[in-house]
Structure 1
Amino acid sequence: MKFYSFLSRFKIKARLIIVFSLLLIFSLTLCGSTVYPLVRSVIQDNIEEELANTTTTTINMIKVAVDVSVRNYLRAVAEKNYDIVTSLYDRYERGEIAEEDAKEIADKILSSQTIGRTGYVYCLNSMGRVEVHPSEALKLQDLTGRDVVRRQISEKTGYLEYEWANPGESETRPKALYMTYFKPWDWIISASSYREEFDSLIDIDDFRSKIADIKLGKSGYIFIIDKNGETILHPWIEDNFSNYADVLGNSFIRDIYEQKSGQVHYEWKDLDSDVVREKIAVFEYFPEMDWIVVASVYADEIYEPLDNIIYLVLISVFLSLLVALPLSAVLGLSITRPVERLVDHFSKAAEGDMTIRSENSAPDEIGILSRKFNSFMDHLDTVEKNLNTEVGIRQESEYQRRLFEEVFINALEGISITDINGNIVAANPGFTTITGYEVDEVIGKNPSVLKSDKHDKSFYDKMWSKLALEGHWVGEIWNRRKNGESYPEMLSISAIRNSAGEATHYVAVFHDITEMKSKEEQLQFQAHHDALTGLPNRALLLDRMSIAIAHAKRLESRIALFFIDLDNFKTINDSLGHALGDRLLQRTTTRISNVFREQDTIARLGGDEFVIMVEDVTDERHLINQAKRLLMAFAAPFEIDGNELHVTTSLGITVFPDDGDDPGTLIKNADMAMYHAKGEGKNGYHMFRQEMHDRVERRLQLENALRTAVQKQEFVVYYQPKVDLESGNVIGLEALVRWIREDGEVISPLEFIPLAEETGLIVPIGRTVMEQSCMDQHEIRDKGGHDLMISINLSARQFREEDLLQTVKEVVDSCNADPKMLEFEITESVLMDDVEKTVDTLNNITAMGFSLSVDDFGTGYSSLAYLKTFPLTTLKVDRSFVMDITHDQDDAQIVETVVNMSHNLGLDVVAEGVETEEQAEMLRKFGCAKGQGYLYGKPMPLIELISFLKARL
């Protein structure tokens, strides 16, 4: 009660200020004393966690640096020894030393090297046998039982980490190696080292700068020591910490040695100032290098923000008071000011301000009084508005008149007003700007003074008729300026009517559309011409051709079409840039134009394709001369931006009506003839002939029929025997696909196989052959009485299919076929395409139990060095070499060489295309034991094959 009595002595505003100030001081004091300990604890925990994270991050960074440094070191050693072995091999290749001497020298050099303290260099071959090793006991030992050796055999090059125990050691130790593969000797050269010795292979300077860049507070830093206290890395201490124990008081090092990971607080005396300050060290053990990484900071630097919290709390109290006092005053005003404001409203209303209203809508007494005041003022305002309405209408009319006058004078369009008789009574400055006539020159005259000679009398009759009927006309019209120049304008004429609806005047509004018409013409040109060269485009060419064909039909004349394509333009465009390519096309346009007549149409279809239409052609010799002149025009090189470009062109020529009677057919046939010219070596011309079209049509028909044949399963499998050349016994079969259409027509494999390869249909066809061969395997054995190896051809397209192995497995499993009695034949070209992937695929096939042979050997120019890396069992000598061996010495020598080479590689040889006994005799003489050809049996269907085999039982 005493406090209430104390407050009642003051006005309302003062009471609010006192109460708010006391509440604010109490609240902030209570909050500060509660929050400060919590904040200090959270900040301290965060700082210590950050130091621990920094230590962990540093260790991870060192791990990465150590791994990279060691990997690079081992790689350098391995590659250096690879160079040594390569050099010795080169000496052997040059005949300077024997190969065994070269290997012995390499053995001594490599096995004498050490890496770090106990690391060494050794070599394995692809069979896992030790070729080079410092330990004589391990040489020539088979180590394929070791997992790391199997990985080396598989990968041959790269970096490996693994566990290894030397003979006599009971536990494995971490180890790493880097290996390279020297293919000529089949040596996997490996440089290895134990992980515990990595410290001898790295340079601490590799990551000194990175650690130095890590900042902790203002002067904190990271340092590294080993378990004996020796400094590995420190900003300024270089030897053992124990040497500084008495001087610096850093006996904390003993705690770090013992704990290895954790944190310590200690006193540190600065050498420069002799000031003792508290420090915090967070440390973690790095077992891979047997190091301890320490993050050290001054306590007063990291806890400095905590000391500032008290000052912030005091400042907050002061600032809050500064804010609270005005707020209290504002609250007091919010109570007393509405009354003062209402009094002020009454005063202003008494002085004549009829717009004044009270905005107070509160439900209290002051609000009710305010609403009554507003009702009174509304009534007074209504009376005043009625008095001002008449004055407002008159002022608006005057404003509209002035507005229309400004529009009339300042409009860019020309405006003229005529009376009912068509005489001009008014015109604006825009009229003068467009027509050149001053206003006083046309007042009282008829607008016909602007009439041009572009329109006849009927045009104006229709215009005035519509204007009289509808009261409005809009359209494009040509008029004449005062200087006599005709120009187009967009004109709008409207009738002005009185209150009775009678026309009293006409107003004409027009603007000059000369520039718009020019742009329309430009757009029209761009729509029908090439933007780069300015030549007619395809649309305009087709239009002109249609007109020319119609004209030629009437006159029974002829039209020629030249289809031109630059040779190798894409190469120039890609290598020298599109900008230079565009300039070349522009120069090309000039050279073409110089050859043909001005009346001939030269068009660009796009890219580097041009078409020239020549009318009134007399004979073919003229066209050939034109073509030769055009080729000669490109004989000289183009000089563009300092580049001398030699560009040639290929031409296709068609003639109307011989080669087509519509633009599309003529262009298509000319294009076809041009591609024939390119196919004949480019830089030439070719006249279209019907047989070109027929060949294309035949190919399209064949492709469609081929797709239908796949769906209808029109393909059958024939088998050709393989025989022993000595005994004549059948030893195997080759599965060959045949296409027999529903109408009985037999399509040659030479015709449809290339097309099937190109279209991808060879994949389902090949699967059909594979499935049928696998199913026939049982019947051939059971009914034919022979268990024969069946060879199935794999095309290049099949071989590159991602699911090849899955397809083979599915087919064999579904037919219950024996993989050991199936052989896949692959051409040389397939083997040499992506050798590494091919070897992997072939290994997977042989792992499934199948045999592999090379078909048409001798035609693919394969490398013997590569050939021996493939898991092959048989080479098939191509029939092109066998057919002439009896009278062509070169072919005979080739076949004999292939046979000898195959025996050296441990491969069987099958000669294809054996048709005479003389060929068979010579093959036997060469040592070829197996053959295949019409001498022993033609390809035959399954039923005929079984009869053939039974006859040989």
Structure 2
Amino acid sequence: MARNLQFRYTVAIGAVIVIVTVILATLFFFQSKELLSNIKTTTTSTMSTALHDEAKKRLVNLSAILSEDLSNPLYNFDMLAILQLLQSVAKLEDIAHVMVIDPKGVIVHDGTELLDSYGKQLEEREILDWIEKQSAPLLINSEELMEIVSPVHIADERLGWVRIALFKKAQLENTQKLTQQLSNLTAESQQRERYLLYLVTTVLLLLGLGLAALVSNRLVSPIRKLTEYVKRVGEGAYGIELDRNRSDEIGQLIHSFNRMSRDLSNTSVSRQYLNDVLNNLCDALIVVSDDMKILMVNNAATEMIGFDKQRLESMSYYDLIDSRDGVRVKRWLSRLLEQQIESIDARYITAAGSHVLVSLSGAYLDLSGAPGQIITVAQDVSERRKNEEHIRYLAQYDGLTNLPNRQLFRDRLKHAMKQAERGEYLIALMFIDLDRFKKVNDSLGHQAGDLLLKETAVRLKKLLRLGDTVARLGGDEFTIIAEQIKSINDGINIASTILETVKEPFEIDTRKVHIGCSIGIVFYPFASDDIGSLVQKADMAMYQAKRNGRGQYCVYNHMLGANENGVIQQESELMEALKTKSFHLLYQPVVDTSTGATVGMEALLRWDNPRRGILDPTEFLPFLENSGFIIELGDWILERACREMLDYSKSSDSPLQLNVNVSMHQFNQGDFSHRVESILNKTGFDPKRLELEITESSLIEDIEMSRNVVRSLKKLGIRIAVDDFGTGYSSFSYLRDFTLDTLKLDTSFIKGLPNDNYAIGICTALIKMAEIMQLNVVAEGVENQQQVAWLHSENVDQCQGYYFGEPAVLGD
């Protein structure tokens, strides 16, 4: 009976052991397989999502910064500034393309210097429909690219859109690499677990056979309890153990079960597997407990911070955080504990005492029946932030002079206006335009022009008081915001100092360069101006200073606004006249003082204004010179005069000399002599019959260049006359330096003859000097016989003026 019971128990216990072992092995195998699969899927998905979110966040931030930075260049259509901004983004290694499009979907700039796609219409209907109807950014995801199309605004006006595309190749490669690593490690882990299962199964079977030989009441209860615990392990309660209070086979079975349970707890996902995964991450991963003690770090964390793993795992997470970021990081960790996932920027303190700027992301891991943990991932963004700061700097500062640009100028002006409204002070807004800068740029080259702008910026910054702003708006235009001005005289004194400072010679490439500036000033708050009207008034005042003769300042008053409307209308009419050539020439005779015979004609320009009638050049010449149109019109005058004089000579007894006035802007063009030669060849006019009248200021603007131009003109046989001598610099030295032919006495000296002793003294001195230098002398503005008699007595060669005839059409 006992033998049968023992046999039955032996068979039953053996069967139970086998069944339990198979069940346990099966449960363990499938549970482990499922767990590893879930870990693989979850890890891959988490990292893929993190990489995608980081790329999206970066793309959104980059587009926001670039959209803001592009507003001013796009508003002013500053293609160079747009190119600089786009290329600063395009050089980032994962940027596919970046471009600027207008509100209708036409490409304004594609980020290349050659503008290959400029003016092309976008073909993507989704983008076209979006920019037509929406004002928010559009995010587009494809297999290879992530794109964003963001609006560019200035104030409430939408100027266009910026389109940035980011390659997803790196993201996909990282995800695939991680997935492959996880697959390999999972396969290795499963292989190790199978070997372990074989071993455990064998041990359990041997122990079961031994235990089956023992038939006692003690056998049933432990087995029943063991069975219960096995079920719990099958349900995932790894790590549970039975009390071992006996040393027989049951005790050994309990010991084996406990060891298996511990092994399952430790090897359900192997530590080596986790270490391989974590240490292959490029970002610093730190696992912390809910009381912020560091539990685990990967290799990237030790490399970033500089401490070894043992040191880090003995520290608090707060020990790594810079004190300036401590409060923000604590709030961030609190939100993670509440399952709120977000990212922040903070600074880690390294072992060397320096700081590393990182982007922190994390998640809270809720462990059933155990304290939760926080997984933090830190990505070093120091270089990226530097690039973003550089882009932001380029958007607010002029790249050449490092002065605030138009956008930052407007921001500071707005702030200064608010301060002036609250206080008892004025602000003075000054618009500064450099005089003769274009000549330096054209004659010495753009590199010299850039150096001149830099030196000017340095001088202006040295003049500023604390709190004042000097900005460059573009070209040779600067602005100054002088704050806390107690009186208008204080502002005028600042302007006067600027005029004197800029007037001092500049040393550019071992050459002394002389320029000046014109300044427009407007004070605030004297009227309810906004930024736009204040800037416009300063601009008006600056242009009035130029009209007044340059090298001076002009304070805005309400009359300037009224006059400006008339000036704008006249300039518009003049532009139309240039297109239609609504000009004609009159001629005033030049008479031999001794014989009274006409020896030449001076060509004088007149404008047939449809509103005001015939206008003298003094009415419109300043605009032509400032705009540069005097070059084109000057060529037209010379060619027209040559042709009309040739036609007139056919009916004349003797050929007459032709005198033509030359503007300083014409004369200072490097190719002026070639242009004159081309016109003479084109018309067939004899160069020996042509005399060009040049003012003193034109000659001494750049003496070296003037000497070369005069020499070239003389080689052609052309005569050179100095017009209005005595009214300008009146330097005898330059008369000696140049091979001149004629000296013309200005009308202001002639009108006092023969009774004004001062006029007599000036004219006598000039005539004697010209006689010594063997120069022909021509008196302008002669109006009566007494003047002719006195000039004849002083051996003046030729005269012209209303006494001999008013300017008239040739042949009348």
Which one has the largest radius of gyration? 1
TM-score, normalisation: structure 1: 0.39
**Taking structure 2 as the reference length, what is the TM-score of the superposition?**
0.44
Bigger relative contact order, structure 1 or 2 (CA pairs below 8 A, ≥6 apart) = 2
